Amino acid sequence: EAGVAQSPRYKIIEKRQSVAFWCNPISGHATLYWYQQILGQGPKLLIQFQNNGVVDDSQLPKDRFSAERLKGVDSTLKIQPAKLEDSAVYLCASSLVRSASGNTIYFGEGSWLTVV
Amino acid sequence: QKEVEQNSGPLSVPEGAIASLNCTYSDRVSQSFFWYRQYSGKSPELIMSIYSNGDKEDGRFTAQLNKASQYVSLLIRDSQPSDSATYLCAVRSNAGGTSYGKLTFGQGTILTVHP
């Protein structure tokens, strides 16, 4: 079974520039998450989708971050304009809505962003 | 108060010893509890999940849950150098009564197992 795919893996941009990250979840997974993990910290949920609807975006800095999940499959996370403090790993994850394993969340390899 | 808090590290244990990792959470209605392992430069991988009070064992790993004390722990027996990683505690609560539940992570505890 293919895992969660993310791209690009690494990105270096200057502050005030924009960047977009793409995620393809595990086939059949209705729930998709974007997490931000700053070095030395645990992952922080930015946004959670159920199919193509937003379930939780309470910690998404909406003045600069946006995310969409068209057709309930792939998702894109955009940052515009980027700030130095956005340097982090952006982790995409997915899970089934209902499963015997209690909705195990599977993570992609992450997209590493450095803002200079 | 942080929603999910882990014991401060780093934690260093000798090979073959028991490593004990602790986690407390603030939301009393939390229902699902997870331990993830994260190697440096890699994404988190699930190693244990626990949903009811008591102990759950899987190989060298034992998760312990006490909902009354809002406490969850992970024991690693016969620790190996390959267990050296950051261990993340994660707690799921139901958001708005749905089954979709927000997963909140602690800050992680770095474990080093030395030969």
Q: Each residue's pLDDT tens digit in chain B (115 positions)?
A: 678 999 877 999 999 999 999 999 998 888 889 999 999 989 999 999 999 999 999 999 999 999 999 999 999 999 999 999 999 999 987 655 555 667 899 999 999 999 9
pLDDT of residue B1: 65
* Gap between the Cα atoms of B91 and A97, Å rounded: 17
Q: Taking CB atoms and an 8 Å limit, are A48 and B100 in contact across chains?
A: yes
Which chain B residue has its CA at the smallest distance from A103's CA? B100
Closest CA to A61 of A91, A34, A42: A34
pLDDT band at A87 (very low <50, low <70, confident <90, very high): very high
Query: How far is the C-alpha of B53 from the C-alpha of B67, rounded, in Å?
Result: 6
Residue A100 has pLDDT above 50, yes or no: no
pLDDT at A42: 93
Residue A1 predicted with pLDDT over 70: no
What pLDDT sits at residue A96? Answer: 82
Which one of B32, B46, B107 has the shortest CB-CB distance to A42? Answer: B107
Closest CA relative to residue A3, chosen from A88, A101, A93: A93
Torsion sign, CA atoms B29, B47, B2, B18: positive
Say if strands A31-37 and B61-66 run parallel, antiparallel, or are unpaired: unpaired
Which residues are B99's β-sheet partners? none
Are A91 and B43 inside 8 Å of each other by CB? yes
The pLDDT assigned to B7 comes to: 84
The band of A66, judged by pLDDT with boundaries at 50, 70 and 90, is: very high
**What was the pLDDT predicted at B94?**
64
d(CA A63, CA A6): 24
User: For residue A102, what pLDDT is reported?
Assistant: 57
Residues 57-86 on A with a CB inside 8 Å of B are none
Chain A: residue whose CA lies nearest to B51: A102
Are the C-beta atoms of residues A66 and A72 closer than 8 Å to each other? no
pLDDT score, position A99: 47
Q: Looking at the DSSP assignment, which residues form a beta bridge with residue A6?
A: A23
Q: Please name the residues between 27 and 46 in chain A that touch chain B, using a CB distance below 8 Å.
A: 31, 33, 35, 40-45
Query: What is the pLDDT at residue B90?
Result: 94
Of B100, B106, B107, the CB nearest to A55: B100
> What per-residue confidence (pLDDT) applies to B13?
96
